Amino acid sequence: MNYQAETFTQSDLWASTADLNILHQQLLNLFCRLAYQEGDFILSSGQASSYYINGKQVTLNPQGALAIGRILLSRLPENTQAVAGLTLGADPIVTAVSVVSAYENRPIPALIIRKEAKGHGTKAYIEGPTLPENATVVVLEDVVTTGRSAMKAVERLRDAGYTVNQVISLIDRLQGGAEFYQSVGLKFEAVFTIEDIQQRYQQLAD
């Protein structure tokens, strides 16, 4: 099957709209169609789950990436100086936001946080432009379960001298992540909850 020809017709070019409500609804549909699966799964946290969300099916999709970039950019505080996230899940997200920000005349650089320090050269944890000391950085994530994954990015950024007060996720599985961030003084928001995904998934299946 020719995926591109099969998937993207003129009527599907919704991600170019300026209407954030349309973007939000169509992005939800895309997560349901491409990323959400039901079955028996083990998550990166080690927890067993009856469903799995493969966020990269959407974040690496051209329509999905454009919609994500536009939606997340609209949610960033005005003083945001960079967006960052833990590799690998956040890589396409921070990139999408940064690219869209340039088109919106609000250029915001992207940082990628390694899980382990680079084994050569600078041996750094953080890839991307060097920011001013105490620069305000917002951490982005695809799916939050316990919140520990994105917290690694927060800690690396703070160790580098940056200010991090907020985490934004595409999806919150409602399994303690929000409460964890609150307990450590971080502001947290998600574009969708798992309840949004499952409700819409059922509607599309009916």
Judged by DSSP in three states, 111 sits in strand
Long-range contacts of 3-6 (CB under 8 A, 24+ apart): none
Specify the pLDDT at position 10. Answer: 46
Judged by DSSP in three states, 185 sits in coil
Residue 101 phi/psi, 5-degree rounding, is: -60, -35
Specify the pLDDT at position 171. Answer: 98
The mean pLDDT value for 122-146 works out to: 93
CA atoms of 153 and 164, how far apart (whole Å): 10
Judged by DSSP in three states, 92 sits in helix
Specify the pLDDT at position 199. Answer: 97
Q: What confidence tier does 1 reach under pLDDT thresholds 50, 70, 90?
A: very low
pLDDT higher at 117 or 153: 153
CA atoms of 184 and 89, how far apart (whole Å): 22
CA atoms of 89 and 43, how far apart (whole Å): 13
Residue 190 phi/psi, 5-degree rounding, is: -130, 145
Specify the pLDDT at position 11. Answer: 55
CA atoms of 194 and 3, how far apart (whole Å): 27
CA atoms of 15 and 151, how far apart (whole Å): 30
Specify the pLDDT at position 120. Answer: 58
* Predicted TM-score of the model (pTM): 0.91
How far from 109 is each of 53, 146, 159, CA to CA, in Å?
Answer: 27, 27, 19
Specify the pLDDT at position 206. Answer: 85
- CA 114 from chain centre, in angstroms, equals 16
The mean pLDDT value for 169-193 works out to: 97
Q: Is the pLDDT of residue 81 over 70?
A: yes
pLDDT tens digits for 82-109? 999 999 999 999 999 999 999 999 999 9
pLDDT higher at 121 or 130: 130
Specify the pLDDT at position 3. Answer: 39
The mean pLDDT value for 40-65 works out to: 92
Choice among 72-76, 122-126, 174-178 with the minimum mean pLDDT? 122-126
Specify the pLDDT at position 119. Answer: 61
Are the C-beta atoms of residues 137 and 164 closer than 8 Å to each other?
Answer: yes
